[in-house]
Amino acid sequence: MHSENPPPLASNDSRHERGLRALAEIDGEGGQKVVDALADIAPDFARYLVEFPFGDIYSRPGLATRDREIATIAALTALGHSAPQLEVHIQAGLNVGLSREEIVEVIMQMAVYSGFPTALNGLFAAKRVFAESSCETSHAK
Amino acid sequence: MHSENPPPLASNDSRHERGLRALAEIDGEGGQKVVDALADIAPDFARYLVEFPFGDIYSRPGLATRDREIATIAALTALGHSAPQLEVHIQAGLNVGLSREEIVEVIMQMAVYSGFPTALNGLFAAKRVFAESSCETSHAK
Amino acid sequence: MHSENPPPLASNDSRHERGLRALAEIDGEGGQKVVDALADIAPDFARYLVEFPFGDIYSRPGLATRDREIATIAALTALGHSAPQLEVHIQAGLNVGLSREEIVEVIMQMAVYSGFPTALNGLFAAKRVFAESSCETSHAK
Amino acid sequence: MHSENPPPLASNDSRHERGLRALAEIDGEGGQKVVDALADIAPDFARYLVEFPFGDIYSRPGLATRDREIATIAALTALGHSAPQLEVHIQAGLNVGLSREEIVEVIMQMAVYSGFPTALNGLFAAKRVFAESSCETSHAK
Amino acid sequence: MHSENPPPLASNDSRHERGLRALAEIDGEGGQKVVDALADIAPDFARYLVEFPFGDIYSRPGLATRDREIATIAALTALGHSAPQLEVHIQAGLNVGLSREEIVEVIMQMAVYSGFPTALNGLFAAKRVFAESSCETSHAK
Amino acid sequence: MHSENPPPLASNDSRHERGLRALAEIDGEGGQKVVDALADIAPDFARYLVEFPFGDIYSRPGLATRDREIATIAALTALGHSAPQLEVHIQAGLNVGLSREEIVEVIMQMAVYSGFPTALNGLFAAKRVFAESSCETSHAK
């Protein structure tokens, strides 16, 4: 459940396959939902999303996947304009081994760099994701 | 030189002393230069800078200092409007144990979240900081 | 329905009349709804909106109205904070001769300049506008 | 109801008490609601919110509270990504003595500095706050 | 030197004349330099700059010119991407009656809404403007 | 010199070759300089820059290269934080067939969507690029 390292790269592995694997590992269902939602409006964009962010960037060695999610949660909180993607990556952070506490710390710290309103909106996004995540856990019992 | 954990908190430790210690450990000379530059225009702001970001936030347990710098470098690269502060925190990342490679990976990843121009400008900031840092290292021999 | 050129300027044409004509041609009902919504809170702002963006800028020769909508859709997608105005201008793009495909291409391209989340949110805005637009077309039969 | 000056500072007054007083005076119920909403996700952040923005910044002499709200409404309108906080501060502006007309003027002016879409979204936020505020006034009769 | 009110509006006063008067009063030489710098690249834009921001917005009754500069300094500090325009408006603030202390307070407050880096860069802009302004004052003796 | 259409896609053409061709056609020397500047800090990022923006996006049919540059110039002017990249794309706009007048119109229009300061800074970027471009033309004689 916890992954410190990016998925291993077979030398003749295609970017697309590598991207799909990374997307599934990191974003779980959230990533697939985005890909599906693009099918009728911009299917090629779904392919780019799999291949560049996930097949190229998240699959690189040199930074643990857990650390990559710290960076993404920080950036999306700071930018403040993309709540749906922030929610997907808060869930992704949980998927790859960040604790709830660590995620909350990252978001709180953004008060210093992009202001209190962005940190507040980030914390409320975390609250929604954690609530849904707890819900699923208790249903699964 | 490498610190995975925030400085220990003595219970009767003042925010200001704690902040000065965290500032010195994390930002090194860069932090003190900013504090000095504020002396004649807004000395109270220098105090807030020591106390809130460093005495409150960076001194919190719950997230390693190294992880906090990943978050800060990501956010400042993504926001794209604060090159001097980004340079201070790239140096801070090196001070608290991030490798050059890890810093470059964080910045490159921002191409996905805030666009290629912010990542490019972040990489050129890293290039300046690394060059100066190498220079100091060789002078120190 | 397709207009490569801004409306001709009669020399003694008032900015306000010219702006109303451009607003009607470009934004259609969407523009008038915005003007109406301002009536009780800031009626002078409705006048400025007609006169500066539409009476001055969109009425200038030197750039085709179609090209102006490419610029506006690109900017609103990249800024990422104004979904309602982006929707109005995606419809405006259709009104002045951009194809759905061209609009999707402009929005997808923003992944490079402002990141994948802004492009994704732009594509979902286009999906909503195109769905409503198809609906109206089939009702009109 | 109208306050030109920040609350007086007793020399041995704690930041937290001073912050709570300023928060109550300025944001009224809106501020307390935010503090309450943080209780289960990040209670320490609620404390920072009381202490730094309100205990430190808004409690400073040197700028009237009314003038501080002009600055905040302007900034939140211009940034364009934090509608809930903008609404809280439009109400805060009314609480500390700005007239509806003055608030509308500040927001309209942002069309010049951050573009018409941010000004439009700010005006619609003001419309919502004013409507609710009128409602409460008439219920109170 | 201090102006609480916008210039009086003669009913048959043209927007352009009114704008030039407001520009001269508020921005002083800084405004004229910008207009001159536009002469060879976009002379019509110089005209719009005089007419819309200054002839329309700053000339409106309903908000004192001093209050308008608080709003502008706040917004430009918070946006963080337009240092030259921020400097012009810090000087404009001094021209229309804000004290240095009030300007510094507005900028410091932005740490709360757009983060410490934007406030720091705003304070350094103020430092540059105040230094030049002191210099001119002592030369004028 | 003027290209209404993206380069033709040979079916077995690699993304990298296609990207290099598009980069050379669109950005000219400016693009190669950026790639070279990345060689020692992040050579893989140079590869991504060639492959995703140029090999994938700019090489797509469905929008003329000229129209793509309108979108890019608009977005970079509006974002306001990436002057070096804006200059590269103003030159790119000239390379692919936009007239100086059209580029100036796109930038001016951004006053409506992201405010006058971003439009002013964009116009001054255009002034620098046009001056250098004229210089080269006269040297070439």
pLDDT in tens, C97-124: 999 999 999 999 999 999 999 999 999 9
Cβ contact D93:D120 at 8 Å: no
Chains E–F, number of C-beta pairs less than 8 Å apart? 49
- Mark yes or no for CB contact B48/D60 under 8 Å: no
Per DSSP, the residues of chain A read ---SSPPP--TT--HHHHHHHHHHHHHTHHHHHHHHHTTTT-HHHHHHHIIIIIIIIIT-SSS-HHHHHHHHHHHHHHH-S-HHHHHHHHHHHHHTT--HHHHHHHHHHHHHHH-HHHHHHHHHHHHHHHHHHHHHHHHH-
Mean pLDDT value across residues B120-135: 94
d(CA F114, CA D79): 10
Dihedral over alpha carbons F64, F70, F73, F74 (to 10 degrees): -130
Q: Which amino acid is at A133?
A: S
What are the distances in angstroms from CA A105 to CA A134, B15, B58?
19, 18, 10
Cβ contact F106:F61 at 8 Å: no
Which of A44, A52, A60 is facing F52, going by the closest CB pair?
A: A52
Query: Which residues in chain E touch residue D114, judged by CB atoms under 8 angstroms apart?
Result: 75, 79
Query: Which residues in chain E touch residue A74, judged by CB atoms under 8 angstroms apart?
Result: none
d(CA E132, CA B64): 44
- Mark yes or no for CB contact D41/A123 under 8 Å: yes
pLDDT at E11: 43
- What is the dihedral sign for C-alpha F107, F110, F114, F120? positive
**Confidence bin at B133 (pLDDT 50/70/90):** confident
Query: Which residues in chain B touch residue C115, judged by CB atoms under 8 angstroms apart?
Result: 78, 110-115
What does the pLDDT look like over F80-121, one tens digit per residue? 999 999 999 999 999 999 999 999 999 999 999 999 999 999
What chains are in contact with E, requiring at least 3 Cβ pairs below 8 Å? A, B, C, D, F
Q: How many CA atoms lie within 13 A of F135 on its CB side?
A: 6
- Mark yes or no for CB contact E81/B81 under 8 Å: yes
pLDDT at F133: 86
Q: Is the ipTM of this complex over 0.85?
A: yes
Residue for token pair 């993607």: A85
pLDDT at A69: 98
Report the 3 state secondary structure along F77-121. Answer: HHHCCCHHHHHHHHHHHHHCCCCHHHHHHHHHHHHHHHCHHHHHH
Q: Which of B89, B65, B80 is nearest to B117 (CA)?
A: B80
Domain ranges in chain D are: 15-57, 65-132
Rounded to 10°, the helix B29-37/B15-27 angle is 120
Query: Which residues in chain F touch residue D113, judged by CB atoms under 8 angstroms apart?
Result: 115-117
What does the pLDDT look like over C46-77, one tens digit per residue? 999 999 999 999 999 999 999 999 999 999 99
Q: Which residue of B has its CA nearest to D52?
A: B52
d(CA E138, CA F115): 36
What does the pLDDT look like over A34-66, one tens digit per residue? 999 999 999 999 999 999 999 999 999 999 999
| Sequence-ordered list of residues with C-beta below 8 angstroms from that of B130, at least 6 positions apart, any chain | B90, B100, F41
Which of E37, E49, E81 is facing F116, going by the closest CB pair?
A: E49
pLDDT at F11: 43
What are the distances in angstroms from CA C53 to CA A49, C26, C31, C58, D106?
35, 11, 12, 6, 19
Which of C44, C52, C60 is facing E52, going by the closest CB pair?
A: C52
Phi-psi category of residue A97: left, alpha or beta, with phi > 0 → left and psi -120 to 50 → alpha: left
| Sequence-ordered list of residues with C-beta below 8 angstroms from that of E114, at least 6 positions apart, any chain | A114, A115, D75, D79, E77, E78, E79, E80
What does the pLDDT look like over D16-30, one tens digit per residue? 999 999 999 999 888
Q: Which of B107, A62, B123, B115 is nearest to F40 (CA)?
A: B123
- Mark yes or no for CB contact E127/B40 under 8 Å: yes
Mutate one of F35, F40, F82, F90 to test the B interface: name it (highest B CB count within 10 A): F82
Shortest distance, CA E141 to any CA of chain F (angstroms): 34
d(CA E80, CA E111): 11
Instruction: Specify the higher pLDDT residue, A111 or A134.
Output: A111
d(CA F44, CA C122): 28
pLDDT at A135: 73
**Confidence bin at C30 (pLDDT 50/70/90):** confident
- Mark yes or no for CB contact F116/D117 under 8 Å: no
- Mark yes or no for CB contact A75/B77 under 8 Å: yes
Helix ranges, chain E (H): 15-27, 29-37, 43-49, 65-79, 83-95, 100-114, 116-140
Which letter does DSSP use for residue B6 in this model? P
Query: Which residues in chain F touch residue C88, judged by CB atoms under 8 angstroms apart?
Result: none
d(CA F48, CA F60): 16
Chains A–F, number of C-beta pairs less than 8 Å apart? 11
Over chain E, what is the mean pLDDT? 90
Which of D48, D57, D60 is facing B56, going by the closest CB pair?
A: D48
- Mark yes or no for CB contact E67/D62 under 8 Å: no
Over chain C, what is the mean pLDDT? 90
- Mark yes or no for CB contact D105/E68 under 8 Å: yes
Joined tokens for residue E113: 């809404």
Q: Which helix (H) or strand (E) holds F127?
A: helix F116-140
Q: Which of A64, A89, A61 is nearest to A75 (CA)?
A: A89
What does the pLDDT look like over B10-35, one tens digit per residue? 444 699 999 999 999 999 988 899 99
What are the distances in angstroms from CA F96 to CA A13, B9, B79, E116, F92?
36, 61, 30, 41, 6
pLDDT at D30: 86
Joined tokens for residue D46: 């609620």
- Mark yes or no for CB contact F37/B116 under 8 Å: no
| Sequence-ordered list of residues with C-beta below 8 angstroms from that of A101, at least 6 positions apart, any chain | B62, B63
Which letter does DSSP use for residue D6 in this model? P
**Residue D138 CB coordination number (10 Å):** 7
Cβ contact E119:D75 at 8 Å: no
Joined tokens for residue E126: 């103020």
Query: Which residues in chain F touch residue D110, judged by CB atoms under 8 angstroms apart?
Result: 115
d(CA A49, CA A44): 9
- Mark yes or no for CB contact B70/A74 under 8 Å: yes
Residue C138 has pLDDT above 70, yes or no: no
pLDDT at A138: 62
Beta strands in chain B (DSSP E): none
What does the pLDDT look like over F25-82, one tens digit per residue? 999 988 899 999 999 999 999 999 999 999 999 999 999 999 999 999 999 999 999 9
Cβ contact A71:A90 at 8 Å: no
Residue for token pair 């990542």: B119
Joined tokens for residue B58: 């960076």
pLDDT at A71: 98
Shortest distance, CA D93 to any CA of chain A (angstroms): 17
Q: Which residues of A touch C (CB under 8 A)?
A: 34, 37-38, 40-42, 44-45, 48-49, 53, 76, 79-82, 84-85
Q: Which residues of F touch E (CB under 8 A)?
A: 79-81, 104, 107-108, 111, 115-121, 123-124, 126-127, 130
Residue E53 has pLDDT above 60, yes or no: yes
Cβ contact B82:E110 at 8 Å: no
Which CATH entry fits the domain spanning C65-132: 1.10.1040.10, 3.10.520.10, 3.40.50.300, 1.20.1290.10? 1.20.1290.10
Which of F38, F76, F81 is facing B123, going by the closest CB pair?
A: F38
pLDDT at F50: 97
